[in-house]
Chains A and B, each alone.
Chain A
Amino acid sequence: MMVPVEGFMYPNEIELQWSVLIVVYPFVTGLVAGAFILASLERIFHVVAVKPTYRLALLIALAFLLVAPLPLQLHLGHPERSLEMFLTPHKTSAMAMFGFVYLWYLMAVVLLEIWLDYRHEIVLLSQSTTGVKRLFYRALTLGSSNISAGALHVDDRVGWVVTLIGIPSAFLLHGYVGFIFGSVKANPWWSSPLMPVVFIFSAMVSGIAAVMLIYMAMMKIRKQPIDMRCVDTIAQYLLYTFIIDFALEMLDLIHRIYEADESFRSLDFLLHTKLFFSQVVLQIVIGTMVPILTIGFIQIFDVPEKLRRVAYAICGCLTIIGIFAMRWNVVIGGQLFSKSFLGYTTYKMNLISREGELIAAALLILPFFILAVLVKILPPWVESQAPSGD
């Protein structure tokens, strides 16, 4: 397939190396980090209003975290050798640390915190259920069936410490993803010390928006009332992080425009042509300014509850689209111009291939199936165990 090229590209540059799957990867890890940080608001910072989403946020983080390595694995030329990154990691490589950061976050933070938080219910379920279910929940107790007040207090304290460690770990997970891009000095679109910080704040934005949306959708599905105090508080935090994220991104953009170094002409061209829709329209206007202005408006004016719900749902969706566009613009946008700054290539996605649209879509849908299973196994709400229709 001939790839349309404008100007001059080094001959090996015409084909893009990192596909849509590498867009999906930081998007998914961002949701994980953001969801976990939202969960920590209640646990560490005692923001009681967001308590209804605490457990759900943890389960969302786990569901997406389990999917996070899949796009990378599918992208590798030799996935069967991926274990070498653990066995013989190259110490100077930012990418080599992925496995360790990932494992730390999965095993030492998310899984441990969920287990500690759910242990009481797991033990009760292991006693109240029968057959295979009983065996399953007994296995989940990991042999720890003491649910005395003292033991639960220890769970709570240890869980608090794990969350405390989890916050910098969440920053590490996603800041590290930003560092993978930000440390590539060959690519001026990526090379920026702001990249890890921008990735962290955009992760928080997407994670908070995702938890808000999923919480509202689940309440709708369960025919339960939405806790508006909770959603209002989440929206407030979404606004705050969004403002910081937008300020950082604009700082980066304005700095590039004002400095106008040798790469500027190239990047400016991209922004006005190939990336205009995804960067200016989707990311900046629809995905950032509209949600910020809408939620900001709600903070200032008295908006009826029904309208707020609709506004939050729309803003949540736009935010998710905007953050996905941001990942796209970083990953794909960073490969559309030549390192000679003299030409541009085109990214053509295949529908059906190992790195095609269908696989990317499947990877984005898969966490929701995992989440459905997790919610079934470990219900995040006490009410969900009560008969419905009350």
Chain B
Amino acid sequence: MITRRKLIVLLPAAALAWKYVVAGTPELAPNYNRSEHWWGMLLDIDKCIGCGNCVRACSTENDVPDGYFRTWVERYHVEDWHQEVPQVDSPNGGKDGFPPSTAIGGKNFFVPKMCNHCVDSPCTQVCPVGATLHTPDGVVLVDESYCVGCRYCIQACPYGCRFLHPRKLTAEKCSLCYHRITKGLTTACCENCPTGARQLADLKNPADPIHEFLKTHSVQVLKPHLATGAKAFYHDLDGSVR
């Protein structure tokens, strides 16, 4: 029972806390229930052709500054005798596609990279003010109105997915197009991938094809030894990929 006396005490406290409550609440769409989703992404190495559409789409959709990447594509060349030391390039993050390969022999393939939206994300753990947060639907977001720009999260990310926004001076990364997926759309990168190499996956949706795919295909995450609970699932990931 809240008495008038208690209310007088609570109201100023609530007023002080309000801006933090608002700042920590991600943009939501009506009818979107966050507890009904658990987002991840499926990345099919066999299907990626390195066209860079995903990088361009992400850059446009999210106003990513030049020279920085929320997603990028790497090209691997692995020779028979150097399985553990691949040759990798990613000119401008693969945004403009790739020049023809001059490598002879071995195997070549493309690897799209992005934030892994880890369940036990090291970036969230180290953030000193809690500006990096886990949403209840499994997305790792940065609250740019709260980030102090210490860059500890950038150091802690094992996948190199974060950067300091050169104008905002806050940490920046893939938001899994949260503004889109909460409105029933897919991400910009998935939308623009011509081969379906990227597919947004909702693990809480029993009708999502991800479940069938995970049951019937070989799927791996990046750097599994770091136990980050990565949710970027790679199909046919070569052991040489870092």
> Footprint of B on A, CB under 8 Å?
8-13, 15, 17-18, 72, 75-79, 81-82, 84-85, 88-90, 92-96, 98, 180, 184-187, 265, 335, 338-342
On whether A90 and B127 interact (CB within 8 A), knowing A8-B88, A81-B146, the answer reads yes
Give B171's nearest chain A residue, CB to CB: A77
CB pairs A–B below 8 angstroms (10 shown): A11-B72, A11-B93, A77-B164, A78-B147, A81-B146, A81-B148, A95-B150, A185-B158, A186-B155, A186-B158
Give B164's nearest chain A residue, CB to CB: A77
On whether A78 and B169 interact (CB within 8 A), knowing A8-B89, A342-B242, the answer reads yes
**Is there an interface contact between A85 and B69, defined as CB atoms closer than 8 Å?**
no
Contact partners of B154 in chain A: CB under 8 A: 12, 17
Q: Which residues of B (163-192) have their CB < 8 Å from a CB of A? A: 163-164, 168-170
On whether A85 and B163 interact (CB within 8 A), knowing A11-B69, A95-B150, A187-B155, the answer reads no
- Extra inter-chain contacts (10) besides given A8-B90, A12-B162, A77-B169, CB under 8 Å: A8-B74, A15-B163, A72-B150, A77-B148, A78-B169, A81-B146, A84-B148, A92-B126, A335-B155, A340-B88
Contact partners of A335 in chain B: CB under 8 A: 155
Partner of B150, one of A12, A75, A89: A75
Partner of A93, one of B93, B126, B226: B126
Contact partners of B159 in chain A: CB under 8 A: 10, 339
On whether A184 and B88 interact (CB within 8 A), knowing A84-B148, A89-B129, the answer reads no
Contact partners of B74 in chain A: CB under 8 A: 8
Contact partners of B149 in chain A: CB under 8 A: 76-78
Contact partners of B128 in chain A: CB under 8 A: 85, 89-90, 93, 95-96, 98
**Is there an interface contact between B170 and A90, defined as CB atoms closer than 8 Å?**
no
Interface residues as binary, B219-242 with A (CB distance below 8 Å gives 1, 0 otherwise): 000000010000000000000001
On whether A17 and B160 interact (CB within 8 A), knowing A81-B146, A88-B129, the answer reads no
**Is there an interface contact between B129 and A96, defined as CB atoms closer than 8 Å?**
yes
**Is there an interface contact between A342 and B88, defined as CB atoms closer than 8 Å?**
yes
Q: B218 in the interface, Cβ–Cβ < 8 Å?
A: no
Contact partners of A92 in chain B: CB under 8 A: 124-126
Contact partners of A89 in chain B: CB under 8 A: 128-129
Give B227's nearest chain A residue, CB to CB: A185
Centre residue among B68, B69, B226, B242 by max chain A CB count within 10 A: B242
Contact partners of B68 in chain A: CB under 8 A: 11-12
**Is there an interface contact between B113 and A10, defined as CB atoms closer than 8 Å?**
yes
Give B91's nearest chain A residue, CB to CB: A11
Partner of B158, one of A8, A9, A339: A339
Bound state CA distance, A18 and B126, in angstroms? 15
CB distance from A340 to the nearest CB of B (A): 4
Interface residues as binary, B97-125 with A (CB distance below 8 Å gives 1, 0 otherwise): 00000000000000001000000001011
The count of chain B contact residues (Cβ–Cβ below 8 Å) is: 46
CB distance from A12 to the nearest CB of B (A): 4
**Is there an interface contact between A95 and B170, defined as CB atoms closer than 8 Å?**
no
Query: Which 6 A-B residue pairs are closest in the complex by CB-CB distance?
Result: A77-B149, A10-B160, A77-B169, A186-B158, A340-B242, A96-B128
Contact partners of A94 in chain B: CB under 8 A: 126
Contact partners of B130 in chain A: CB under 8 A: 88, 90, 93
Bound state CA distance, A72 and B152, in angstroms? 12
Bound state CA distance, A92 and B124, in angstroms? 9
CB distance from A94 to the nearest CB of B (A): 7
Bound state CA distance, A230 and B88, in angstroms? 59
Q: B151 in the interface, Cβ–Cβ < 8 Å?
A: yes
Q: B32 in the interface, Cβ–Cβ < 8 Å?
A: no
Contact partners of A339 in chain B: CB under 8 A: 158-160, 242
Give B149's nearest chain A residue, CB to CB: A77
CB distance from A276 to the nearest CB of B (A): 22
**Is there an interface contact between A13 and B160, defined as CB atoms closer than 8 Å?**
yes
Contact partners of A79 in chain B: CB under 8 A: 148
Contact partners of B113 in chain A: CB under 8 A: 10
Contact partners of B86 in chain A: CB under 8 A: 342
Contact partners of A95 in chain B: CB under 8 A: 126, 128, 150, 152
Contact partners of B127 in chain A: CB under 8 A: 90, 93
On whether A78 and B88 interact (CB within 8 A), knowing A89-B128, A187-B155, the answer reads no
Contact partners of A184 in chain B: CB under 8 A: 122, 126, 155-156
CB distance from A327 to the nearest CB of B (A): 16
Q: B18 in the interface, Cβ–Cβ < 8 Å?
A: no
**Is there an interface contact between A93 and B125, defined as CB atoms closer than 8 Å?**
yes
On whether A12 and B88 interact (CB within 8 A), knowing A77-B169, A96-B128, A340-B242, the answer reads no
CB distance from B98 to the nearest CB of A (A): 13
